[in-house]
């Protein structure tokens, strides 16, 4: 077992109790933001205990958005929260799945790396996990690594990760702390908060040899002193180490709420950390959280997507970074974004003839986000045609840019069968085509982590909307796609008025398409996903430009 990590590196493990979905990710992000504000270099690491090697092959309706890092790793949406709360990019070492760990160990076994030993979960899988925890701290050059272990205590899937954390505590008792985020239900028939499920979860954690140092009790309402004491006694903790985390309106209040209970100081004490000179405080957060609370004027933005419905529910998890990006740019302009969801299927096929296109007029801006496959595409294309002709601000993200190019080719160039090879490879006019290396990958059924992924440079053309929004010549943005604007059509499209304002350094890949301001207030699409780099304290320049135009429309 590797035991040579920097002695002073600190680890906080965040573990869930009772049930998932109570805000472990936001708790982890908030702990990160608090420690960062105290002057520590922090990295946040997410453990997803599933056997998928990464999140890239999972359906966004079931699993939420796939969040892409600079490195190109396709991860869980929690990574997006981490980056947004830390206001910085994380590395490919900050995300671990069971699949990743097992794949590595099994491949090492096949390569005779274990010298003839019997390879087993303990010690080999456990030690590979410890190695990865330690590596993430080193790669980030951080002081503290906060690890969120996915799932809840009692799951089979995450046992090995909790065991790795336990062993790290044994190795470095002063450098490791455990935080349990648990749930305290208030059953409506009883009308009182029940602590028993949390007590049981704590007992289960004990049975793994782990004692929580801090309990964050999530609930609909604040926890009273009586229950705080009950939990404290049942897990042998000082009462201050039990934190009440009631539902609040905005997640940006969570770090502030934690700080009211002295979370930062408490964790520093538990980890034997001294106060830093370069403490910044959380003023920036306070300001932002106040803006969220006090902004009243609205701007109405619609997202045209297909991943909204599961059963009776409308879910927006598939587009969470897009929603966040819209909100941040709106707050920066003094507006609260009211986000509407439009199901693209309502604008196509038999629905199209009685679809209410006029209803689109009430929106100040319309976004077509990323996506895959055929369903809902014709509906998106008819919406794009309408917003182009009626000068409603339009922002296309990845697929949304490709569709904008197809719409332009069909309705302005008159190439009626213009299409993407993703939908109809037999179309005569494939204005969007598969990238040659991608074609080979698909033929070999190589689907996992094989798209054009992660951060790439693009050069911006002076005098364009994009250049003036970014105010720079070279940008870096994150990608996730297999298809591209077909270079054979660039001349025709350009002659017809479409401007390619961002291109890859080789000049071959079209990264941004737009119409000039004098033709349309904002009609712009990006082959990349700008939403992945939008942060509360650093809104994304293209979203901001789009929102500015949306506000102008509203105020007209």
Q: Which residues are known to be catalytic?
A: 398, 529, 531
Q: Are 308 and 343 in contact (CB under 8 A)?
A: yes
Minimum distance of ligand GLN from residue 535's CB (angstroms): 20
- Nearest approach, Cβ of residue 303 and ligand GLN (Å): 13
Residue 20 or residue 375: which is nearer to ligand GLN going by CB? 375
Beta carbon of residue 407, minimum distance to ligand GLN (angstroms, whole number):
15
Angle at 62 between CA 59 and CA 67, to 5 degrees: 60
Pairing of strands 365-368, 394-397: parallel
Q: Taking Cα atoms as reference points, which of 417, 414, 413, 439 lies closest to residue 428?
A: 417
Spatial distance between the Cα atoms of 264 and 205, rounded to a whole number of angstroms:
23
Q: CA of 330: how far to CAs of 29, 46, 282, 334, 391, in Å?
A: 22, 29, 22, 6, 20
| Beta-sheet strand order (sheet of 483-485) | 419-420, 430-434, 483-485
Rounded to the nearest whole angstrom, what is the least distance from the CB of residue 529 to ligand GLN in the complex? Answer: 7
Instruction: Please identify, using beta-carbon distances, which residue of 11 and 483 lies nearer to ligand GLN.
Output: 483
Long-range contacts of 486-495 (CB under 8 A, 24+ apart): 486/430, 486/431, 486/432, 486/433, 489/409, 489/429, 489/431, 492/409, 492/413, 493/405, 493/408, 493/409, 493/413, 493/431
Q: What SS3 class is residue 531?
A: helix
CB of 493 to ligand GLN, least distance (A): 17
Q: For residues 285 and 546, which CB has a smaller minimum distance to ligand GLN in the complex?
A: 546
Distance of closest approach, residue 74 Cβ to ligand GLN, in angstroms? 11
CA–CA distance from 1 to each of 76, 100, 117, 122, 333 (Å)? Answer: 28, 19, 15, 11, 52
In the complex, which residues of this chain contact ligand GLN (CB under 6 A)?
370-372, 398-399, 422, 480-483
Q: Which residue is nearest to ligand GLN (CB)?
A: 370
Which one, 5 or 344, has the nearer CB to ligand GLN?
A: 344
Residue 527 CB, nearest approach to ligand GLN (Å): 8
- Write down the least CB distance from residue 279 to ligand GLN, Å: 40
First-to-final CA distance of the chain: 66
Q: Which is nearer to ligand GLN, 74 or 93 (CB)?
A: 74
**Does a cis peptide bond (omega within 30 degrees of 0) precede residue 123?**
yes
When the beta carbons of 422 and 477 are compared against ligand GLN, the nearer one is 422
**Nearest distance, CB of residue 456 and ligand GLN, angstroms:** 14
Per 3-state DSSP, the chain is made up of helix, strand and coil in percentages (nearest 5) of 40, 20, 35
Smaller CB separation from ligand GLN, 152 or 526: 526
Cα(170)–Cα(172) distance, integer angstroms? 6
Alpha carbon separation from 353 to 348, 357, 377, 411, 414 (Å, rounded): 8, 10, 16, 18, 22
Q: How many beta carbons lie within 10 A of that of residue 297, not counting itself?
A: 12
* Residue reference for tokens 């904002």: 522
d(CA 121, CA 298): 54
CB closer to ligand GLN, 422 vs 511: 422
Q: Whose Cβ is closer to ligand GLN: residue 158's or residue 486's?
A: 486
Reported as half-sphere exposure (CB side, CA atoms, 13 A), residue 459 has a value of 9
d(CA 401, CA 513): 7
Phi, psi (deg, nearest 5) at residue 244: -90, 125
- 185: number of Cβ within 10 Å: 18
Burial of 21 (0-12, 13-18, 19+ CB in 10 A): exposed
Residue 258 or 543: the one with the smaller Cβ distance to ligand GLN is 543
Nearest distance in Å: CB 67, ligand GLN: 12
């Amino acid at each position: 077992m590797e035991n040579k990590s920097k002695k002073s590196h600190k680890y906080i493990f965040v573990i869930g109790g009772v049930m998932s979905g109570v805000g472990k990710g936001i708790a982890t992000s908030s702990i990160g933001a608090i420690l960062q504000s105290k002057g520590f270099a922090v990295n946040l690491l997410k453990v997803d205990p599933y056997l998928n090697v990464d999140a890239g092959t999972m359906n966004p309706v079931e699993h939420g958005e796939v969040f892409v890092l600079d490195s190109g790793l396709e991860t869980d949406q929690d990574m997006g929260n981490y980056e947004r709360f830390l206001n910085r990019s994380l590395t490919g070492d900050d995300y671990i799945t069971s699949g990743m760990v097992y794949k590595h160990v099994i491949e090492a076994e096949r390569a005779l790396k274990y010298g003839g030993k019997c390879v087993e979960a303990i010690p080999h899988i456990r030690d590979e996990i410890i190695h990865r925890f330690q590596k993430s701290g080193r790669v980030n050059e951080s002081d503290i690594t906060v690890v969120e272990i996915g799932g809840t205590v009692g799951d089979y899937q995450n046992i090995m990760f909790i065991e790795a954390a336990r062993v790290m505590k044994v190795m470095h008792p002063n450098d490791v702390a455990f935080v349990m985020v648990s749930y305290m239900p208030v059953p409506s028939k009883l009308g009182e908060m029940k602590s028993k499920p949390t007590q049981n979860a704590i007992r289960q954690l004990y049975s793994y040899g782990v004692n929580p140092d801090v309990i964050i009790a999530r609930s609909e309402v604040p926890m009273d002193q009586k229950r705080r004491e009950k939990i404290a006694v049942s897990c042998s903790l000082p009462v201050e180490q039990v934190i009440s985390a009631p539902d609040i309106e905005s997640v940006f209040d969570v770090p502030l709420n934690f700080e009211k209970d002295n979370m930062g100081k408490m964790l520093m004490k538990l980890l034997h950390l001294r106060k830093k000179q370069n403490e910044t405080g959380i003023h920036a957060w306070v300001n932002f959280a106040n803006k969220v609370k006090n902004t009243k004027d609205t701007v109405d933005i619609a997202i045209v997507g297909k991943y909204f419905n599961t059963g009776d529910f409308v879910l927006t998890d598939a587009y969470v970074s897009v929603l966040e990006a819209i909100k941040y740019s709106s707050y920066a302009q003094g507006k609260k974004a009211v986000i509407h969801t439009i199901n693209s299927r309502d604008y196509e096929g038999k629905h199209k003839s009685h679809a209410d296109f006029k209803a689109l007029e009430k929106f100040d801006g319309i976004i077509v986000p990323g996506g895959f496959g055929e369903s809902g595409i014709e509906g998106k294309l008819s919406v794009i045609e309408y917003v182009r002709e009626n000068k409603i601000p339009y922002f296309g993200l990845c697929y949304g840019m490709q569709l904008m190019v197809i719409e332009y080719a069909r309705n302005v160039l008159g190439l009626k069968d213009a299409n993407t090879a993703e939908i109809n490879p037999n179309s005569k006019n494939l204005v969007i085509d598969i990238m040659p290396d991608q074609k080979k990958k698909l033929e070999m059924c190589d689907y996992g982590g094989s798209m054009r992924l992660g951060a790439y440079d693009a050069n911006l053309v002076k005098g364009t909307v994009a250049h003036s929004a970014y105010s720079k010549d070279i940008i870096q943005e994150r990608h996730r796609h297999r298809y591209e604007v077909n270079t054979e059509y660039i001349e025709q499209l350009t002659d017809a008025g479409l401007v390619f304002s961002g291109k890859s350094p080789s000049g071959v890949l079209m990264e941004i398409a737009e119409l000039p301001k004098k033709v349309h207030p904002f009609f712009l699409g990006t082959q990349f996903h700008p939403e992945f780099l939008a942060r509360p304290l650093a809104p994304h320049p293209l979203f901001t430009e789009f929102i500015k135009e949306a506000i102008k429309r509203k105020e007209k």
